[in-house]
Amino acid sequence: MDTRAAAAAVDHRPLSERAALNKEALKQSFLDNLFHTQGKFPALASKSDYYLALAYAVRERLLQRWISTAAEYMQKGARTVSYLSAEFLMGPHLGNNLINLGIYDEAKQAMTELGLNFDELLAQEEEPGLGNGGLGRLAACFIDSMATLEIPSLGYGIRYEFGIFHQSIVDGWQVEKTDKWLRYGNPWELQRPEWAVQVKLGGYTEHRSEEDGTLTVRWIPSRLVSGVPYDTPILGYRNNTANTLRLWSAQAPESFDFEVFNRGDYYGAVMQKMSSENLSKVLYPNDEHEGGKELRLEQQYFFVSCSLQDMIRIMQGQRLPLEHFHEKFAVQLNDTHPAIAVAELMRLLVDEHKMPWNRAWQVTCKTFAYTNHTLMPEALERWPLPLFKKVLPRHLEIIFEINARFLDEVRRRYPGDSARVARLSLIDESGPRYVRMAHLACVGSHAINGVAELHTELLKSDVLRDFYELWPNKFSNKTNGVTPRRWMVLANPRLTRLVSDSIGEDWIKHLDQLQKLEPLAESADFRSHWREIKRANKRALAEVIARRCNVAVDPDSMFDVQVKRIHEYKRQHLAALHIIALYLQLKAQPNLELAPRTFIFGGKAAPGYRMAKLMIKLITGIGDVVNRDPMVRDRLKVVFLPNFSVTNGQRIYPAADLSEQISTAGKEASGTGNMKFQMNGALTIGTMDGANIEIREVVGADNFFLFGLTTPQVYALQAQGYRPHDWYEQDPQLREVIDMIRDGYFSRGDASLFRPLVDSLLWHDPYFLFADFRSYVECQQRVGETWVDTERWTRMSILNSARSGKFSSDRSIRDYTKDIWHAPSVPVELLTEHHVRA
Ligand code: F55
């Protein structure tokens, strides 16, 4: 780009004219921002400067929508959904905002005409990885759908300075690096210091009888932290709605009473200030419960308190009495991480706003609804009582009071059933005492839901059975979904074009319309287009693999993909056993006709989860052997793509032929990756677990590769005494596979490396790999036979996509709105700058 020409082009018209949604206006504001925001000219500008200039140009176009939306909601006094989540795994904003504004092609053209590589600019954005996996990504899909459905909503969470770690693979092992996503600034957020709030922590309580006979409680904290909100606009798809994601950052408070709290200990006070800023420093990288970490509890309380105080501020700004809190706000708890909200709202209403307990309790129960995301008993959050009391002394008293009243009700309902009382109690007293966060969430909510049909049934019959017996009407299912805007339109532009050319564009907002593709599965011409697109997506992914893994993979081979967090229950090692079985087959019969396959793995292991890290090492170890063995003749390739993220997912799902969803039945609450694969035309090999069951139901048994034990069969095997070693002895192929790992074939002769993994399987196998092995291998055989019938495979692929309508997060959100939130849509009329100023 020429500097002089660019400088001459900067214009000085008012924002409203410049913020038009067309190519020329976009170019104009891009150049303006390069000069006036970045302070750069082309000779000096980096790719990052160009990205930021474009991002600011797009932001100007968001602000009008954002302001109009806020004004509309305020004027209407709209009922608002508050989605409380410790994680929002948003993925990059620029491409998505361009799609939702409807100016993606214009922006691309504008950049191209300025001589810039648009895709390269998009790639500059560091994605905000403020989540671990499915739970955080679900929150992101949900706020996208709420904006698209014009539902007034606020996402509340934590602005972690460091998101999920960056994963690289060194010598086959996972290595973690910190995620400095804010390094070059974040153009999508606006700091709102004027709405900062104070959060108390620690200390003790004082109970006083006043002269008028009332009892007042004072919480004297040992620390104060200030929460500063950062707002990010969340656009609806081609409407005027821009909702808000409000993330809280912890800062040392402006004024802190050193005299009272620190008695002359200046150094200690400064240290305390520093430590208070640690609160929002880093996302805990565990996708199950973080046992007994004080800072984690503080994080949870911090963002919950900030968010509830913010809602109270909003009510007061609209002069609404707090008795109506539940009418103004429907608050959804994304798992138990924000469950302390139940006690905090009680504290705010009773202690700070002097509402009588019973009234406050009614308001609280009508406000909250709780979504559970796990069936793993060890993942249910509980906090040791001493730790809880140290951080939140007043909340512990409130929880005791809630518990006393609740257990009175239980005793009335079930006289003499003290075992039930102990099971239902908010306090686990079976050993050292704990606060049970799921119980707090259940008691303080009017609605409780699971995230897939099977999951909800298992909650009712198992994990939350006593609560279901007590309050059956609180329970309902809300099957998860994903947003087709990010996961199809943005991630798979080729498929989007073909689909829109065939059935129009309505499907993007009404995914059920993909049904109209069904008859086209019978058109040879359409099938051939469909294959060309998949092939192009695979070539693009193959290039990424070549760059990142240094392995050449054939785009004409079957791309067999498993991407998700690494976990024993998700059974990446079952897939590994199958690959070894295939490899042994090729070694035994070198001329075996085997359709070439590329096995692609991706996912992060929690840094402290040793078995998961060993599973990564096993996969990379298999790749090292198989990819190099001349006898394989490129019929098998195994790659582990480092740093699976939203950005990488956008390249992977559109390129997959086969989606691996192979968790032990009854363990995966829902899964959402399974839906992203299906939409993009991958076939699924899967167990009867989570949403797999519903995917199979909509695509039909003929279009789904099912294997493995069902949940009742798993339970029965467990009950009769499962002995994995017997299964090992009775299956020669399984024996050969396991022996090979044990003897060091995939660890350069080191027979000790995989010992913990092999021994765990042989003697415990808590996730029933051996019991499912034979069924999995046979099912994979059927997959291979189907694959070689190209036309048949393509038909199945088209039908999978055509029948994925149910798994749009728009459907999930409609379900929540209808049954739980009752928050009507509020369409937004765009204000002009003139209106805003008037
Ligand atoms: C993160 C932190 C903690 Cl402390 C506990 C759990 C997690 C987490 O990431 N959980 C998670 O992702 N759960 C998943 O939720 C998805 C959305 O509902 C489900 O699809 C998936 O089955 C479930 O494992």
Q: Which residue type sits at 1?
A: M
Judgement on whether residues 354 and 246 belong to the same structural domain of the protein: yes
Q: Which of 480, 515, 546 is the last residue of a domain?
A: 480
Tell me if 286 CB under 6 Å of ligand 1.
yes
Q: Pull the structure tokens for residue 524.
A: 């040879």
Q: Which residue type sits at 19?
A: A
Please indicate, yes or no, if residue 628 is contained in any of the structural domains: yes
Judgement on whether residues 298 and 412 belong to the same structural domain of the protein: yes
Judgement on whether residues 288 and 415 belong to the same structural domain of the protein: yes
Tell me if 135 CB under 6 Å of ligand 1.
yes
Judgement on whether residues 455 and 550 belong to the same structural domain of the protein: no
Residues assigned a catalytic role? 373, 564-565, 570, 672, 676
Q: Which domain holds residue 36?
A: 1-76+94-125
Please indicate, yes or no, if residue 524 is contained in any of the structural domains: no
* CB distance 607 to 176 below 8 Å: yes
Atom number of ligand 1 nearest to Cα 381: 4
Judgement on whether residues 284 and 403 belong to the same structural domain of the protein: yes
Atom number of ligand 1 nearest to Cα 138: 17
Q: Which of 793, 745, 775 is nearest to 626 (CA)?
A: 745
Taking the centre of ligand 1 as the mean of its atom positions, its distance from the CA of residue 773, in whole angstroms, is 26
**Domains in the chain: how many in total?**
3
Please indicate, yes or no, if residue 521 is contained in any of the structural domains: no
Distance between CA 795 and CA 777 in Å, rounded? 24
Distance between CA 600 and CA 592 in Å, rounded? 22
Please indicate, yes or no, if residue 647 is contained in any of the structural domains: yes
Q: Which of 690, 604, 693, 700 is nearest to 646 (CA)?
A: 604
* CB distance 173 to 621 below 8 Å: no
Taking the centre of ligand 1 as the mean of its atom positions, its distance from the CA of residue 282, in whole angstroms, is 18
Judgement on whether residues 62 and 145 belong to the same structural domain of the protein: no
Judgement on whether residues 98 and 172 belong to the same structural domain of the protein: no
Judgement on whether residues 280 and 393 belong to the same structural domain of the protein: yes
* pLDDT value for 833: 54
Tell me if 456 CB under 6 Å of ligand 1.
no
Taking the chain (838 residues) in consecutive chunks of 10 residues, what is each chunk's mean pLDDT?
60 63 94 93 94 97 94 95 98 98 98 97 97 98 99 98 98 98 97 98 95 90 97 98 98 67 76 87 90 93 99 97 98 98 98 98 99 93 98 98 98 98 98 98 99 98 98 98 99 98 98 98 98 98 98 98 98 99 97 96 98 99 98 96 98 99 98 99 99 99 99 98 98 98 98 98 98 99 98 99 99 98 97 56
Q: Which of 158, 287, 303, 455 to mutate to test the pocket of ligand 1 (most atoms within 8 A of CB)?
A: 287
Judgement on whether residues 107 and 186 belong to the same structural domain of the protein: no
Atom number of ligand 1 nearest to Cα 286: 2
Residue owning the nearest CA to atom 21 of ligand 1: 671
Distance between CA 174 and CA 603 in Å, rounded? 10
Q: What sign does the CA torsion over 684, 688, 694, 696 have?
A: positive
Residue owning the nearest CA to atom 7 of ligand 1: 287
Judgement on whether residues 33 and 132 belong to the same structural domain of the protein: no
Q: Pull the structure tokens for residue 490.
A: 């943005």
Atom number of ligand 1 nearest to Cα 131: 9
The number of CA neighbours under 13 Å toward the Cβ of 78 is 23
* pLDDT value for 16: 59
Taking the centre of ligand 1 as the mean of its atom positions, its distance from the CA of residue 385, in whole angstroms, is 25
Taking the centre of ligand 1 as the mean of its atom positions, its distance from the CA of residue 197, in whole angstroms, is 29
Judgement on whether residues 190 and 54 belong to the same structural domain of the protein: no
Taking the centre of ligand 1 as the mean of its atom positions, its distance from the CA of residue 643, in whole angstroms, is 18
Per-position DSSP letters for 397-455, written without gaps between them: HHHHHHHHHHHHHHHHHSTT-HHHHHHH-SEE-SSS-EEEHHHHHHHTEEEEEESSHHH
Contacts 24+ apart (CB under 8 A), 203-212: 203/393, 204/393, 205/393, 205/394, 205/397
Taking the centre of ligand 1 as the mean of its atom positions, its distance from the CA of residue 615, in whole angstroms, is 20
* pLDDT value for 199: 98
Please indicate, yes or no, if residue 486 is contained in any of the structural domains: no
* pLDDT value for 838: 43
Taking the centre of ligand 1 as the mean of its atom positions, its distance from the CA of residue 140, in whole angstroms, is 13
CATH assignment of the domain containing 633? 3.40.50.2000
**Model confidence over 118-133: pLDDT tens digits?**
999 999 999 999 999 9
Judgement on whether residues 770 and 791 belong to the same structural domain of the protein: yes
Tell me if 290 CB under 6 Å of ligand 1.
yes
Q: Which of 438, 456, 480 is the last residue of a domain?
A: 480
781: which residues sit within 8 A by CB, 6+ positions away?
none
* pLDDT value for 262: 58
Taking the centre of ligand 1 as the mean of its atom positions, its distance from the CA of residue 338, in whole angstroms, is 14
Tell me if 138 CB under 6 Å of ligand 1.
yes
248: which residues sit within 8 A by CB, 6+ positions away?
156, 157, 158, 159, 227, 228, 229, 230, 280, 302, 303, 306, 307
If you count DSSP H runs as helices and E runs as strands, how many of each does the chain have, helices first? 36, 25
Distance between CA 289 and CA 435 in Å, rounded? 14
Q: Pull the structure tokens for residue 1.
A: 């780009």
836: which residues sit within 8 A by CB, 6+ positions away?
67, 71
Residue owning the nearest CA to atom 20 of ligand 1: 671
Distance between CA 64 and CA 78 in Å, rounded? 19
Please indicate, yes or no, if residue 513 is contained in any of the structural domains: no
Distance between CA 420 and CA 438 in Å, rounded? 16
Interface confidence (ipTM) of the complex: 0.99
Please indicate, yes or no, if residue 562 is contained in any of the structural domains: yes
* pLDDT value for 258: 47
Atom number of ligand 1 nearest to Cα 371: 18
Residue owning the nearest CA to atom 15 of ligand 1: 135
Please indicate, yes or no, if residue 210 is contained in any of the structural domains: yes
Tell me if 490 CB under 6 Å of ligand 1.
no
Residue 643: helix, strand or coil by DSSP? coil
Distance between CA 569 and CA 661 in Å, rounded? 11
Tell me if 287 CB under 6 Å of ligand 1.
yes
Atom number of ligand 1 nearest to Cα 337: 4
Strand boundaries in 97-162, DSSP class E:
129-130, 153-158
* pLDDT value for 450: 98
Tell me if 226 CB under 6 Å of ligand 1.
no
Residue owning the nearest CA to atom 2 of ligand 1: 287
